[in-house]
Amino acid sequence: MKKLLWIIPVAALAVALVFMFIPTTLTAAEEEEMDLLHSSERGCTSCHRVVERNGQTFDYTLYAEVKNLPEHPSIKKERVEEEGVLYCLMCHEDMGEKSFKKLLHPIHYFSEHFHGNCFSCHDISDEGEFVLWDQVHQGS
Ligand code: HEC
Ligand code: HEC
Ligand code: HEC
């Protein structure tokens, strides 16, 4: 019986090692899951960006989306890249039926290609109101 006592320090060491290595051996997927805010999946440019798929390149940037609209007035590419949706809102904040608060919800929610949710675009302000994620987190 006494001979088996060597097991105690060995077991303690094993337990210590397990605890030391657990945090560093998390897989990327597990780390993603721990990001409760899902920051990398939020804001317009989490979807509206250049995407590589099967060796092909697709330009889904906001600038490209607007270029596809036949009647749209011309807009500056650099400003879209720098300011994102805040640039669009200079005109689209208060534009009657073409205000973004009226236009952007049906555009996305009636599309079979859209798999996001309210919080893909929004955050909730300290006052409890829907604000744009890009308005709060731009540049961060
Ligand atoms: C979760 C992904 C996702 C996010 C986030 C997102 N979009 Fe989109 N958006 C889409 C998809 C998918 C479409 C394509 C809809 C279609 O063509 O059926 C789209 C289409 C559009 C279009 C094109 C409309 C048209 O008539 O061609 C505009 C403009 C647009 N989005 C603006 C925005 C803006 C501005 C934001 C941020 C406030 C945003 N989107 C956030 C996925 C997203
Ligand atoms: C200089 C002002 C201005 C800016 C900046 C602007 N828009 Fe517009 N947008 C307009 C006007 C004017 C219309 C209405 C003309 C039309 O129907 O195309 C419009 C219409 C639209 C429409 C509706 C198109 C339709 O078929 O009726 C979408 C979607 C849109 N804009 C997206 C965007 C996005 C995304 C951005 C930012 C990347 C943007 N706009 C920036 C002026 C602007
Ligand atoms: C594709 C992006 C997108 C998605 C998804 C989206 N919104 Fe929005 N939402 C916007 C934009 C852009 C505005 C206009 C912001 C502005 O005018 O300043 C807006 C405006 C609003 C406003 C008005 C806020 C204000 O201060 O004027 C409310 C409320 C709102 N959204 C609720 C929702 C809810 C609820 C959902 C989910 C069911 C949702 N949104 C999903 C983009 C989105």
Q: Which portions of the chain are predicted below pLDDT 50? A: none
- For position 2, what pLDDT does the model report? 61
- For position 34, what pLDDT does the model report? 59
In total, the chain counts a number of residues equal to: 140
What separation in Å is there between the alpha carbon of 108 and the centre of ligand 1?
A: 6
What separation in Å is there between the alpha carbon of 92 and the centre of ligand 2?
A: 7
**Amino acid code (one letter) for 106:** P
The residue extents of the domains of the chain are 41-137
- For position 62, what pLDDT does the model report? 98
Rounded Cα distance, 67 and 73, in Å: 9
Rounded Cα distance, 65 and 54, in Å: 21
Rounded Cα distance, 132 and 35, in Å: 19
Which one of 61, 102, 114 would you pick to mutate in the ligand 1 pocket, going by the greatest count of ligand atoms within 8 A of its CB? Answer: 114
Model confidence over 57-83: pLDDT tens digits?
999 999 999 999 999 999 999 999 999
Rounded Cα distance, 84 and 87, in Å: 6
